[in-house]
Amino acid sequence: MTDYDVIIAGAGTGGSTTAYAIAKKGYSVLLLDRKEKDKIGDKTCGDALGSHHVKEAQELIGLPEIPDDIVEYVVNGIDLIAPDREHRLRMQGPTTTGMSFNRLKMGQWFLGLAEKAGAEVMASTRAKKLLIKDGKVSGLRIMDSEGNDRDLTARIVVDATGATGMLRRQLPESSPIERVINKDDMMVAWRDIYETPEYDFETPDILEIFWNQEETLGGYTWVFPQGRNRVNVGAGVMTIKNHRRPQDIMKEFVEPNWDFYKTKLVRLDSSGGVAPIRRPIDTMVDDNFMLVGDAACQVNPIHGGGIGSSILGGALAGLTACKVLETNDTSIGSLWEYNPRYMEMYGSKQASLDVFRWFLLNVTNDDIDFAFRKQIIKASDLLDTSMTGKMKIGTGEKFKRLVSGIGNVPLLRRVQKIAHLMEDIREVYAQYPSSPDGLSDWQEKLWPIYDQAKKI
Ligand SMILES: Cc1cc2nc3c(=O)[nH]c(=O)nc-3n(C[C@H](O)[C@H](O)[C@H](O)COP(=O)(O)OP(=O)(O)OC[C@H]3O[C@@H](n4cnc5c(N)ncnc54)[C@H](O)[C@@H]3O)c2cc1C
């Protein structure tokens, strides 16, 4: 007999969604977080979420509608802006409509859902050590709000501790789960929220993403209005060797170049954060153990959005956990089905965009300006890529037309090659193994694609 059916470390959107899905089926769930209860949900973020993610979770686990008082402003599209800042692509479609929201209220709402569904919430409680018995996860050592250590057992432990993946890192070496994430698969960012009483954002329903390879290599600057007189602004970069500090980018590049900085500003919040920006962890389960959200690298590698995918991950992990708890077999083989379900719904797209991320590292501002100017990629194509991970440009007649009409053949050829590699990796994901036995053979097929993408 264990203390709980499931212990979930981390009560962000990923952990809370998992807890909600499992607790509502009547299983005993402990959801713990190191933050004080009324601070859970407060985190460095762009505060933007696509509505399609919410709809998906409604269908999967009956997530209720997001209440209106959490939403700061409705989002109707995203502008991608070239380094020259003269050319932009407006993406408007099912994946780019959504909301800009109050982060703390959103987090509190998810926590409340889990609690109302029956999860026991322990705040100000730190997950300290993964307990292992006979080589398998058996529970968790926690430090409670009084500073006392306690060992708790569970049939399943879920790591939803966010980008640190602090339980994942403690798995035994024999685990098929990667414990450490490469630095160059992480992004680091700085974000400020201001009221701008003297500056009106003209299109507060459109989020703006600015590319500039010289300033924000492997990342971008975002300007996300939260109404006419409020903005969430930040800059993030990939943590490759010698990357710039995001605070320096804000000071030296963003502040001098955006007009609203020339007006009176009321700073509401400033902070830094990190997120993984790669394909999901290849297996997000082991015996009695699951990963959800940032801890499982369930983040879009191009725009760094991970709230929606952590909700999806939480919903799918929760559904699998309920099924497995019923059969009384919580081995990796039983928990496995969470992997292919997530890979099919989102992981394959993440992998494809991850390949594209490596390509983007090797393009210049001139290349991007050219691509925008000549409309090599149209907004509708990009929208399609963001929805499906498929890039349309790379094949057939259309490419021939581009070569003859536009020029810059070397760049076009490189774009064509990367489009093929994105297609290749999606094919590999279509063959994601149906049991743990096939994992290492499957992984062997992934790595050569990355090797090629890094060289284009
Ligand atoms: C600068 C920045 C901007 C972003 N902007 C957006 C955006 O606009 N839209 C979007 O969709 N995504 C955005 N993201 C990504 C998004 O914030 C994450 O992907 C998402 O919050 C992941 O949810 P999660 O539940 O996995 O992790 P988190 O929300 O990080 O939750 C993890 C929880 O675990 C707790 N925890 C950690 N360690 C322990 C421990 N040892 N014991 C107990 N509890 C612990 C933490 O206190 C935290 O509450 C952004 C990320 C960054 C860094």
pLDDT (tens digit per residue) in 163-181: 999 999 999 999 999 999 9
Examine the domain organization and report whether 42 and 138 are in the same domain: yes
Q: Is 244 helix (H, G, I), strand (E, B) or coil?
A: coil
Does 61 reside within a domain?
A: no
Residues of the chain by 3-state class (helix, strand, coil), percent to 5? 40, 25, 35
CA 396 – ligand 1 centroid, Å: 41
Examine the domain organization and report whether 237 and 331 are in the same domain: no
Q: From atom 16 of ligand 1, which residue's Cα is the shortest distance away?
A: 306
CA 160 – ligand 1 centroid, Å: 9
User: Which of residues 227, 258, 276 is at a domain's end?
Assistant: 276
Mutate which of 17, 161, 281, 303 for ligand 1 pocket (most atoms within 8 A of beta carbon):
161
Q: What is the mean pLDDT of the chain?
A: 93
Centroid of chain to Cα 260: 29
Question: d(Cα 417, Cα 60) in Å, to the nearest integer?
Answer: 36
User: Does 126 contact ligand 1 (Cβ within 6 A)?
Assistant: yes
Neighbouring C-beta atoms of residue 155, cutoff 10 Å: 23
Does 272 reside within a domain?
A: yes
Q: For residue range 38-49, list pLDDT tens digits in order.
A: 999 999 999 999
Residues with Cβ within 8 Å of residue 11, at least 6 apart in sequence: 19, 31, 32, 33, 35, 40, 107, 110, 111, 114, 121, 123, 160
Compute the half-sphere exposure of residue 308: CA atoms within 13 Å on the CB side of its CA: 26
Q: Quick one: what percent of the chain has pLDDT higher than 70?
A: 93
Examine the domain organization and report whether 237 and 285 are in the same domain: no
User: Does 305 contact ligand 1 (Cβ within 6 A)?
Assistant: yes
Examine the domain organization and report whether 160 and 283 are in the same domain: yes
Confidence of residue 402 (pLDDT cuts 50, 70, 90): low
Mutate which of 44, 254, 307 for ligand 1 pocket (most atoms within 8 A of beta carbon):
307
Examine the domain organization and report whether 259 and 284 are in the same domain: no
Does 188 reside within a domain?
A: yes
Examine the domain organization and report whether 229 and 332 are in the same domain: no
Does 93 reside within a domain?
A: no
Examine the domain organization and report whether 310 and 385 are in the same domain: no
Give CB contacts under 8 A, 24+ apart, made by 256-260: 258/223, 258/233, 259/199, 260/194, 260/196, 260/199, 260/201, 260/231
* Residue showing tokens 């190191």: 34
- For residues 213 and 392, the model is more confident at 213
**In the predicted model, what is the mean pLDDT of residues 61-89?**
93
Q: Is the CA virtual torsion 5, 106, 165, 57 positive or negative?
A: positive
- For residues 381 and 69, the model is more confident at 69
Examine the domain organization and report whether 206 and 246 are in the same domain: yes
Mutate which of 310, 350, 386 for ligand 1 pocket (most atoms within 8 A of beta carbon):
310
User: Which of residues 232, 250, 276 is at a domain's end?
Assistant: 276
- What pLDDT is attached to residue 397? 57
- What pLDDT is attached to residue 113? 98
User: Does 274 contact ligand 1 (Cβ within 6 A)?
Assistant: yes
- For residues 18 and 386, the model is more confident at 18
Q: From atom 50 of ligand 1, which residue's Cα is the shortest distance away?
A: 45
- What pLDDT is attached to residue 393? 58
Examine the domain organization and report whether 381 and 406 are in the same domain: yes
Q: From atom 39 of ligand 1, which residue's Cα is the shortest distance away?
A: 161
Does 138 reside within a domain?
A: yes
- Domain encompassing residue 319: 4-47+102-181+278-336
Examine the domain organization and report whether 241 and 199 are in the same domain: yes
User: Does 168 contact ligand 1 (Cβ within 6 A)?
Assistant: no
Centroid of chain to Cα 280: 9
Question: d(Cα 284, Cα 158) in Å, to the nearest integer?
Answer: 10
Does 360 reside within a domain?
A: yes
Nearest to 392 by CA among 370, 358, 79, 401: 401
Centroid of chain to Cα 407: 36
Confidence of residue 392 (pLDDT cuts 50, 70, 90): low
Confidence of residue 16 (pLDDT cuts 50, 70, 90): very high
Number of domains in the chain: 3
- What pLDDT is attached to residue 112? 98
Atom index in ligand 1 nearest the CA of residue 236 equals: 1
Phi, psi of 332 (to 5 degrees): -55, -35
User: Does 157 contact ligand 1 (Cβ within 6 A)?
Assistant: no
User: Does 75 contact ligand 1 (Cβ within 6 A)?
Assistant: no
CA 12 – ligand 1 centroid, Å: 6
Does 158 reside within a domain?
A: yes
- What pLDDT is attached to residue 323? 97
Does 67 reside within a domain?
A: no
Confidence of residue 431 (pLDDT cuts 50, 70, 90): very high
Residue 332 near residue 286, CB atoms below 8 Å = yes
User: Which of residues 259, 276, 293 is at a domain's end?
Assistant: 276
Question: d(Cα 168, Cα 9) in Å, to the nearest integer?
Answer: 11
The residue type found at 102 is N
Examine the domain organization and report whether 9 and 24 are in the same domain: yes
**In the predicted model, what is the mean pLDDT of residues 55-82?**
94
- Report the CATH number that the domain containing residue 170 is assigned in CATH: 3.50.50.60
- What pLDDT is attached to residue 407? 63
Q: For residue range 274-305, list pLDDT tens digits in order.
A: 999 999 999 999 999 999 999 999 999 988 99
Strand partners, 77: 206
Residue 28 pLDDT greater than 80, yes or no = yes
Examine the domain organization and report whether 368 and 312 are in the same domain: no
Mutate which of 103, 169, 290, 294 for ligand 1 pocket (most atoms within 8 A of beta carbon):
294
Residue 87 near residue 81, CB atoms below 8 Å = yes
Residue 367 pLDDT greater than 60, yes or no = yes
- What pLDDT is attached to residue 399? 59
